[in-house]
Amino acid sequence: MKETVDRSGFGVVDFIMVLLLVLTLVVPMVRIFPTYVEYYGLKKTIDRIQKTAQSEDEAKTALQNQFAIDSVKAISVDNILIEKVNEKLVISFNYKQPIPLYGDLSILMNYQAKATGK
């Protein structure tokens, strides 16, 4: 008569389940991460330009130059609002970026920032 041995361990089915879970979480993060990096770069850029630029035209020119250097594709300089409020330069933007995940499934990210110099 054979003895039954209680085996505990990591089987093929367990491996596949963990792999599916990891892929379900990792793929969206990998796709979203570059858009966050670009957003924070844009935010840092408008903060810096808001502090250094004296006029709206100077700010727009500086943004155009920086966008060319950074190869910004998510938003154009024409979509950035540059205005004087109470003798202070205010630069802001608001844009949406769809991120495809799997087939027809995508995530829509809303990004907005405002540099007021406070």
What contacts 117, CB < 8 A, 6 or more positions away? Answer: 50, 51, 88, 89, 90
- Confirm if 96 and 24 have CB atoms less than 8 A apart: no
Arithmetic mean of pLDDT over the chain: 89
What contacts 41, CB < 8 A, 6 or more positions away? Answer: 70, 72
- The pTM of the full predicted model, rounded to 2 decimals, is 0.78
Tokens of 47: 């903060």
118 falls in which pLDDT band (50, 70, 90)?
A: low
* Higher per-residue confidence, 77 vs 8: 77
Write out pLDDT tens, residues 45-95.
Answer: 999 999 998 889 999 999 999 999 988 888 999 999 999 888 889 999 999
Q: Residues of the chain with pLDDT > 90: what percent?
A: 58
